[in-house]
Each structure stands twice: as structure tokens, then as C-alpha cells.
Amino acid sequence: MPVITVNHKQVHIQELNKGAEHTVVLIHGMFSNLSIYYFNIAPILAKHYHVVMYDLKSHGMSERFSDGYDLESMSSDLLALMNVLHLEKVHLAGYSFGGLIALKAALKAPHRIHQLVVMEAPDPKDEKARNIIDEYSKEFLEHYVANFTDTTKVQMGKRQMEKNHRMYEFLFEKTSIKADMIREKHFLGETDFSELKVPTLLMYGADSNCRPTGEWLNAQIPESELTLIPGDHNIPIQEPAHIAESIIRFLSQSLSKTVTHNHG
């Protein structure tokens, strides 16, 4: 499992199809890890793109830290990772809180983002949305165990299960993660998204409590489109193939528009 050093931090990454011309960087949500993409979504994307996945700090196999879970820090971590991997410009996709990280990074460094995909990014001021993330973490662990078993044909042992539970306990009890998320509660309301010129695909569950946030972002971001996916906040678990195919469609359309504009 590749672990690289980014700003003196140990970061676990996975890459597929490194020889492809364009790169898609995938950001998972809080309380999960890169396996949300690795088993189902990333292999489909990798038929067309170089795919980079990484575990956020204190998640998966990345190094643990007690603080730095605000959007400024997390987006800076992402841009630093791109520098270490010599990725000048990428397509960026983020899920849940990872979607907010993706938005923050695109606002900070739009020249480094070709296209942006935001999946189920919540409104940080909505307490119900924060509770959804907590509930999701429990469902994610069950999903991770099922996929680990299906992929390796080996039942996850007690030691591995305990390791995962320790990670969640650390995040919930020994970090500033929840306080940092609460401090970001005005992020959407205080940001002028009309300045975001990066073509953006918004994907939300048709039955998700976060759907109104997707509809609001669609009205705020000039070059955006909203796609509703059958399901709720857990659409990467519920409809991974649908999500991957929607991303490929969006990126290929945007790229063709760019080529036409550049040569037209």
C-alpha cells in the first residue's frame, strides 16, 4: 500500500491507469476512506483516466492528527498532494465533506482544476446534515467489510475489525473534526460561488436530505449542472456504476467543449 510524504505527513494513496492523459483525483468523505471508490467507482473511471485516491488525515492508512480538519487545511493538503505527485491540473471529485473540500480547492486554485464533481456535499450549518455523516460512517463500515470480503475472498478478521473501530473512536473522541466542521457552518453562505468558473457537476441522491443544498449550489455556480441519482446520501454505495458513468459523461463532454473552443 503506497504511503507518501506530503508536508511532513504520511498519506496513503492508490493510483490506477497512471499512463492516461488526464487525471481524476477522488476525495472521500469524513469517517470513511478511499475504498469507497476503490472497489467499484475507480475501476470504471480508470478505463479512461488516471485515477488518484487518497486517505484523508487520520482516515484509512494515513497518519493520524488531532487537528486541521477545517476546509482551509484540508484543501491545502490536497493541493500539496498534487504538487508531490507532479499533477499540475486535474479533474476533481469529492463526496460528502470531501465535496466541500473539492469546492474549497477549486475556489483557491481554479487554474489547477479542469472540471469539478461534487457529490452530496452537505450544508455545514445544517445539523441534520452533520448527523447524516455520523450515520453514514456506520453504514460505510458495513460496506467496507462486505467489499473486503468479496474482493479478497477472505473474511475480515477480528483484529482488522478492531483496527477500524479504533480509527473511528480516534476521529470521534480525540480530534477536532466535529468542532472544525461546526466552525465551517457559514462556508456556503459566505462564499460567492458566482466567481467559480470551473465547470461543475453536482450529483445528489433523489431522496437525500442534502438535495436542497445541491439545488442551491446549482443556482449559484454559473457553469453547473445537477444530476439526481436514485438513493439517499449513500449513493456511492447504492449506485456506484451510475455515478462513475455520469462522471465519465460529464468529463468527456466538458473536454470536447474545451477542445472545440480552443480550435474553433
Tell me: the pLDDT tens digits for 74-130? Answer: 999 999 999 999 999 999 999 999 999 999 999 999 999 999 999 999 998 877 655
DSSP state for residue 229 in the 8-state scheme? E
What is the three-class DSSP state of 90? Answer: strand
What region, left, alpha or beta, does residue 104 occupy, with left being phi > 0 and alpha being psi -120 to 50 degrees? Answer: alpha
List strand residue ranges (DSSP E) for 79-215, in order: 90-95, 113-119, 200-205
As a whole number, mean pLDDT of residues 158-170 equals 70
* pLDDT tens column, 38-65: 999 999 999 999 999 999 999 989 999 9
List strand residue ranges (DSSP E) for the chain, in order: 3-6, 9-16, 23-27, 50-54, 90-95, 113-119, 200-205, 224-229
CA distance 195 to 198: 9
Q: What pTM was computed for the model? A: 0.87
